[in-house]
Amino acid sequence: MEDLRLLIDLHRDSERQGPGGEAETRLGIRLAGLDPAAPLDIADIGCGNGSSALLLAQALNAHVSAVDLVPEFVDALRDRAAMEDLSDRIDARVASMDELPFEDEAFDVIWSEGAVYNIGFERGVNDWRRYLKPGGILAVSEITWLTERRPAALEAYWNEAYPEIDTAAGKMRVLERAAYTPVGYFVLGEHCWLDHYFRPLQGRFEAFLKRHGHSADAHALVRAEQEEIAMYEKYRAYFSYGFYIARKTA
Ligand code: SAH
């Protein structure tokens, strides 16, 4: 899996592996109505290098169980937790989101930023529900249409890449059908994509290509990332990540 190795190498040193931001994670915490003093058990699924896991552990009286499929990302989170003196509050493990090593009703909160698409939003929110205590909070960000009508070329691109993309109304319907009550929603602004994700990523391209001797595969990956960035820049009025906060109903 040479391609996967390259992908991991390109992303392992980044602060985040997808669009997002500290202020946006904090807004999610506020909309979830979480009491900063109350002891909370939180799962962070598809945690990447752990920017949200670290913030959750800092901002709340929380124990965070963070999982990701990629051992390099889990290691990076462990290092960052140690540096910030949060090792006793963050348990980072390698696990797949479709086979989670958790007990039923173990968590007050399930957090997942920019990751549930890997198994699909509908499957993720349905499968993960059992790990929440009654009344527990689910906070997930998910690629979302911002408008009811979109250019045909953009529709074609996303129908190929992720056919589950939908409007916020559609995503909330999925949450309601899965027995959650939506309690908050907002859209990630452009800075979450451009300043926090794409620009730092572009800044790593040159060193990445050098590290891999300018191989054809390395160039192909950089080209693919550039295409994704160009797609966002051209069509950003039509899609972004939506951040969904929902409560597990009885
Ligand atoms: N939440 C992080 C990372 C988002 S990128 C952030 O906001 O920065 C998506 C993450 O999902 C990557 O770290 C990737 O390794 C992880 N991932 C992909 N498939 C997975 C799976 N089946 N189980 C767990 N994590 C997975």
Ligand 1 residue neighbourhood (C-beta within 6 Å)? 16-18, 20, 46-48, 51-52, 67-70, 73, 96-98, 113-115, 118
Express each pLDDT in 51-62 by its tens digit: 999 999 999 999
CB 123 within 8 A of CB 97: no
Task: Report pLDDT digits (tens) over 101-133.
Answer: 999 999 999 999 999 999 999 999 999 999 999
What is the average pLDDT value for the chain, to the nearest integer? 97
For residues 128 and 100, give the distance between their C-alpha atoms in angstroms, rounded to a whole number: 9
Question: Is the entire prediction scored with pTM above 0.75?
Answer: yes
Distance 26 CA to ligand 1 centre (A): 20
Closest CA to 241 of 185, 182, 195: 185
132-142, pLDDT tens digit by residue?
999 999 999 99
Q: Is residue 165 scored above 70 in pLDDT?
A: yes
Question: What's the pLDDT at 1?
Answer: 52
